[in-house]
């Protein structure tokens, strides 16, 4: 046997459908093509300076240098609870209902290890952020995909989940505002999810990475705002998008104490928490002036308006999203997502993400990330306008 024969777990990973576009991008870059990358969902705006300063100050304090507590410093957990109360009007016990994460991806990826046994089912939206499915596979579970369809405003149809599946399911992942569709959910939807979860004894994991990236005065709701939500679920928050801190690796989980405890039991045996200086910076972010969040929102909103108008003028079918920095756009008639994305790259140097890469129901769409300045975005629209579909 090969010394480095991969585990069955790795063998079960779904095919990575962005490989082709990645390869074409690398190849075009090496040829010196002027690429406009609208593929990656990574904020291009810098972290606000008061957060960077807080990190610098904490770095100079030797008390920052030792092992952190894996679940987070008391000051961090208190800042999270205070932020959650102020933003969503929900009380959180900072000691028992908060866990600091090395980015929310880490918490999402570890959560199934605490609650899924081999053969257990997880309910997973499709298209979606790939981590929900992969974390389920790593834990030995089976994914049941809930299609997110345009006719249902990209919300899962809970009535379409077969009774036998609902009975066997242990967890359900949801994510609103949504990546990749940029759809939003209201409290009525969250209420239906809570009811469903109570009825079928399912834990709900709400990925809330984009609740703070919203426009036109819209404030996305939090899952825990629904009566009874904390009995069945928890919410994953990220500072990556809210404060342009993707490289810092910090996020948090809030919600049901048994869920938080289980996640903590996995984490305490795998990692040793987030560097205390980064937690101090996060405290400054959560407790400080939130005008940078609004300012960044204005920047994304201006970009959204330019690109949505440009796409519509060219005949594309796209809705103007209330939240997230993504546009979920229909490919022109007769174009599969992958072929369309390839053509854009080869003929115009534009990188977009083919929708089917997020799951089969994403076929026929492509995703644009608004992570370039206005000038580059306008250039992208003008290049698109020169193509014939």
Helices 74-88 & 276-287, crossing angle to 10 degrees?
30
DSSP string, 320-363: --SBSSEEEEEPPTT--HHHHHHHHHHHH-EE-EEGGGG-GGGT
Question: Tokens 């870059």, residue?
Answer: 29
175, 182, 244, 337: which one binds ligand PLP (CB under 6 A): 175
**Binds ligand PLP (CB under 6 A): choice among 48, 72, 94, 103:** 103
**Shortest separation between residue 253's beta carbon and ligand PLP, angstroms:** 11
229-258 positions binding ligand PLP, by CB under 6 A = 238, 240-241, 246, 251
Of 88, 81, 327, the closest CA to residue 219 belongs to 88
Q: Does 47 bind ligand PLP (CB under 6 A)?
A: no
**Residue 209 binds ligand PLP (CB under 6 A):** yes
Site size for ligand PLP (CB under 6 A): 14
To which residue do tokens 């069955």 refer?
8
Query: Is the C-alpha dihedral spanning 127, 315, 215, 103 positive or negative?
Result: positive
Instruction: Between 241 and 276, name the residue whose CB sits nearer to ligand PLP.
Output: 241
In order, the DSSP letters of 145-188 are EEE--GGGTT---GGGS-HHHHHHEEEEEEESS-TTT-----HH
CB of 175 to ligand PLP, least distance (A): 5
Q: How far is the CB of 240 from ligand PLP (least distance, A)?
A: 3
Q: Applying CB under 6 A, which of residues 47, 64, 71, 104 lies at the interface with ligand PLP?
A: 104
Could you tell me which stretch among 54-62, 97-105, 166-174, 224-232 binds ligand PLP (CB under 6 A)? 97-105
Residue 129 beta carbon to ligand PLP: minimum distance, rounded to whole angstroms? 4
Please give the helix or strand (H or E) that residue 301 lies within, else none: helix 291-313
Q: Which is nearer to ligand PLP, 129 or 144 (CB)?
A: 129
Toward ligand PLP, which CB reaches closer, 283 or 384? 283
Could you give the angle at the alpha carbon of 98 between the alpha carbons of 96 and 103, nearest 5°?
150
By the rule CB under 6 A, 39 interacts with ligand PLP: no
To the nearest whole angstrom, how small is the minimum distance from the Cβ of residue 222 to ligand PLP?
15
181 belongs to the binding site for ligand PLP (CB under 6 A): no
User: Rounded to an integer, what distance in angstroms lies between the CA atom of residue 228 and that of residue 246?
Assistant: 32
Residues 331-350 that bind ligand PLP (CB under 6 A): none
CB of 128 to ligand PLP, least distance (A): 8
Query: What is residue 125's three-state secondary structure?
Result: strand
* Angstrom distance (rounded) from CA 320 to CA 298: 14
Site string for ligand PLP, 113-152 (x = CB under 6 A): ----------------x-----------------------
Among residues 25, 105, 303, 304, the one that binds ligand PLP under rule CB under 6 A: 105
Q: How many CB atoms lie within 10 A of CB 290?
A: 17
41 binds ligand PLP (CB under 6 A): yes
CB of 207 to ligand PLP, least distance (A): 5
In DSSP terms, which residues pair with 327 in a beta bridge?
368
Which residue, 251 or 349, has its beta carbon nearer to ligand PLP? 251
Residues 6+ apart with CB under 8 A from 170: 115, 116, 117, 120, 121, 122, 141, 202, 203
Q: Which is nearer to ligand PLP, 126 or 175 (CB)?
A: 175
Q: Is 139 exposed, middle or buried (0-12, 13-18, 19+ CB in 10 A)?
A: buried
Instruction: Specify the residue, 326 or 349, whose C-beta has the smaller distance to ligand PLP.
Output: 326
Nearer to ligand PLP, 251 or 310 (CB): 251
Assess 179 for contact with ligand PLP (CB under 6 A): yes
Q: Which is nearer to ligand PLP, 173 or 310 (CB)?
A: 173
Residue 206 has φ and ψ, to the nearest 5°, of -95, 115
Please report, as ranges, the residues that interact with ligand PLP according to CB under 6 A: 41, 103-105, 129, 175, 179, 207, 209, 238, 240-241, 246, 251
């Amino acid at each position: 046997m090969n010394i480095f024969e991969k585990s069955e777990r790795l063998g079960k990973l779904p095919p990575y459908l962005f490989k082709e576009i990645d390869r074409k991008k690398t190849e075009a870059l090496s040829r010196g093509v002027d690429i406009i990358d609208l593929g990656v969902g990574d904020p291009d705006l810098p972290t606000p300076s008061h957060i960077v300063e807080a990190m610098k100050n904490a770095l100079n304090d030797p008390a920052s240098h030792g092992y952190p507590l894996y679940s987070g410093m008391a000051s961090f957990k208190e800042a999270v609870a205070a932020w959650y109360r102020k933003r969503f009007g929900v009380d959180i016990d900072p000691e028992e209902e908060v866990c600091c994460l090395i980015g929310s991806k880490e918490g999402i990826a570890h959560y199934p290890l605490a609650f899924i046994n081999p053969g257990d089912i997880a309910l997973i939206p499709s298209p979606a952020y790939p981590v929900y499915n992969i974390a389920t596979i790593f834990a030995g579970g089976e994914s049941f995909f809930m299609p997110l369809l345009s006719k249902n405003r990209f919300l899962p149809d809970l009535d379409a989940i077969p009774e036998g599946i609902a009975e066997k399911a242990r967890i359900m992942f949801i994510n609103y505002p949504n990546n990749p569709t940029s759809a939003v959910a209201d409290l009525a939807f969250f209420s239906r999810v809570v009811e469903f979860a109570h009825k079928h004894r399912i834990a709900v994991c709400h990925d809330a990475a984009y609740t703070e990236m919203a426009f036109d005065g819209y404030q996305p709701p939090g899952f825990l705002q629904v009566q009874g939500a904390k009995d069945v679920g928890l919410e994953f928050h990220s500072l990556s998008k809210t404060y342009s801190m993707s490289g810092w690796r910090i996020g948090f989980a809030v919600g049901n104490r048994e869920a938080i405890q289980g996640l903590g039991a996995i984490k305490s045996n795998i990692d040793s928490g987030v560097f205390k200086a980064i937690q101090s910076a996060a405290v400054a972010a959560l407790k400080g002036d939130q005008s940078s969040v609004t300012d960044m929102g204005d920047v994304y909103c201006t970009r959204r308006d330019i690109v949505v108008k440009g796409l519509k003028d060219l005949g594309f079918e796209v809705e103007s999203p209330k939240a997230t920095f993504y546009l979920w756009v229909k490919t022109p008639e007769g174009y599969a997502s992958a072929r369309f994305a390839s053509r854009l790259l080869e003929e115009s140097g534009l990188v977009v993400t083919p929708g089917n890469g997020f799951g089969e129901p994403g076929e026929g769409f492509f995703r644009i990330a608004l992570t370039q300045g206005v000038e580059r975005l306008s250039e992208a629209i003008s290049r698109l306008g020169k193509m014939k579909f």
